[in-house]
Amino acid sequence: MFIKAVLSMLIALVIAGGAFAQESDSLVVMTHDSFAVPEALLEAFEDQTGVAVEVLRAGDAGTMVNTAILSVNNPLADVLYGVDNTFLSRALNADIFAEYESPALEFVQEAFLPADEDYRVTPVDFGDVCLNYDIATFEDLELSLPESLIALTDEAYRGLLVAQSPATSSPGLAFLLATVAEFGVDGDYDYLDFWSDLRENDVLVVDGWSDAYYGEFKVTGRDSGSRPLVVSYASSPPAEVLFSENPEAGAITGAIVADGACFRQVEYVGLLAGAANETAARQFVDFMLSPAFQEALPLNMFVYPVRADVDLPEVFAEHSQIPENPAWVDPADIEAHREAWIQAWLEVMLS
């Protein structure tokens, strides 16, 4: 009896698997783990277009791009959202996108518009990786904030910073790129000299964002780590207020947004070449640039809209700072040198 029951279950599973075919009046959106959008917003899109939206999460940003490349001949989805400038070149080189020039691009801030009229991807949002600090600790120590990257090598900040490894962490890589942009890769004092000084100054490097932020970063009022400086996002302080047990108490952490101290990550959406439902895919790209979607970005994914004409939610308007001059490294350079830069960094930090 037992065996028969299990067998029939297995057979049922296989049949169910075979029947699991994609319908063409639905739209599959492939994205990363951090994708979050209000359900009502997606329903509005579905009502408006009559297309059912299915969201396919495919791991972290790197895993997602690699998955899309591996399935280029038989795409898993119609639209891919969430490829950022650190992985953009890899995706473009693999020719996974079809061109589409959205009419909504006219509302996008100029700085984010695609160069050379290359419309294979469309910018949707951006966020900045930068230093966060625990306000209470800096007040208690009567310590001024490190207002530039080089200040971090100062004796005053010895043993205060926790960062992430660029080999395994996306903010870790972004911060490495900020140092590459700031100090360059050759010259008297390059990014490796800076890191070697940071190491002398007792920087702690851990594997990922949550280990750094929850394990090592000191936030007064939370039993957490012991270092009051962490590599995180410019949007972390408002999020910290939003998810605080006592939001009225105001900000407990801050972000340092000095010129060149932050690295900007821009996220793009693109139509996957050979998509089953190209019309709906175009509609979805337009939808992502619509005011309603752009307004929902900060509170759901802690990133900022690329449209200049949408208002930020109150908690963001009040507690967040957007760096005026973030560091920037050309995506093609990132793809070409990522391995070498990380390898050299590992040698400096581990030798």
Partner 1 sequence: MRRRIRGSGAWLFLLPLLFLSLFYFYPLLSLFDISLRPAGALDLSAFLRIVESDYYLGTLLFTVYQALLSTTATLLLALPCAFVFARFRFRGRSLLLSLATLPFVLPTVVVALAFATLLGEDGLLNDALRALFSLDYAPVQLERTLPLIIIAHVFYNFAVALRIMSGYWSSMGAAAEEAARCLGADEWALWRDIRLPLIRPALLSAGALVFIFCFTSFGVILILGGIRFATLEVQIYYQAVSIFNLPMAAALSIVQILSMLAMMALYTRSQKRLRLDLASGATLAKPARSALEKLALAACVGFMALLLFSPLLALLWRSIFVGGALDLRNYASLAESSRGSLLFIAPLESIFNSLRFAALTTGAAVFLGLCAAYLIERGGRLGRLFDPLFMLPLATSAVTLGFGFIVALDEPPLNLRASWLIIPIAHTLVALPFVLRSVLPSLRALPPSLREAAALLGARPQTVFRTIDLPLLGRGIAVGATFAFTVSMGEFGASLFVAQRESVTMPVVIYRLIGDPGNASYRQALAMSVVLMLACACGFSLIERLRVAGVGEF
CB of 120 to partner 1, least distance (A): 19
Q: Which is nearer to partner 1, 83 or 105 (CB)?
A: 83
Name the DSSP letter for residue 312: P
Q: Which is nearer to partner 1, 109 or 226 (CB)?
A: 226
Q: Which residue has the tokens 């390898």?
A: 343
Residues contacting 271, CB < 8 A, separation 6+? 78, 79, 97, 98, 99, 100, 278, 281, 282, 285
Q: Which is nearer to partner 1, 108 or 283 (CB)?
A: 283
Would you give the end-to-end CA distance of the chain in angstroms?
A: 62
Q: Which is nearer to partner 1, 20 or 50 (CB)?
A: 20
Q: Which is nearer to partner 1, 112 or 209 (CB)?
A: 209
Spatial separation of the C-alpha atoms in residues 345 and 130, rounded to whole Å: 19
CB of 70 to partner 1, least distance (A): 5
CB of 181 to partner 1, least distance (A): 19
CB of 260 to partner 1, least distance (A): 24
Q: The tokens of 135 are what?
A: 């306000």
- Among the listed residues 130, 139, 138, the one whose alpha carbon sits nearest the alpha carbon of residue 255: 130
Surface-to-core class of residue 122, CB atoms within 10 Å of its CB (0-12 exposed, 13-18 middle, 19+ buried): buried
CB of 118 to partner 1, least distance (A): 21
User: What is the phi/psi pair of residue 205, to 5°?
Assistant: -110, 125
CB of 349 to partner 1, least distance (A): 7
Residue 61, number of CB atoms within 10 A of its CB:
20
Q: Which is nearer to partner 1, 115 or 350 (CB)?
A: 350
Q: The tokens of 128 are what?
A: 């900045």
Residues contacting 82, CB < 8 A, separation 6+? 31, 32, 34, 35, 61, 64, 267, 269
Q: Which is nearer to partner 1, 122 or 240 (CB)?
A: 240
Helix or strand or coil: residue 324?
Answer: coil
CB of 56 to partner 1, least distance (A): 4
Length of the chain equals 351
Helix (H) or strand (E) holding 231: strand 229-233
Q: Which is nearer to partner 1, 169 or 283 (CB)?
A: 169
CB of 152 to partner 1, least distance (A): 18
| Cα dist from 53 to 41, 63, 85, 104, 299, whole Å | 11, 22, 26, 21, 21
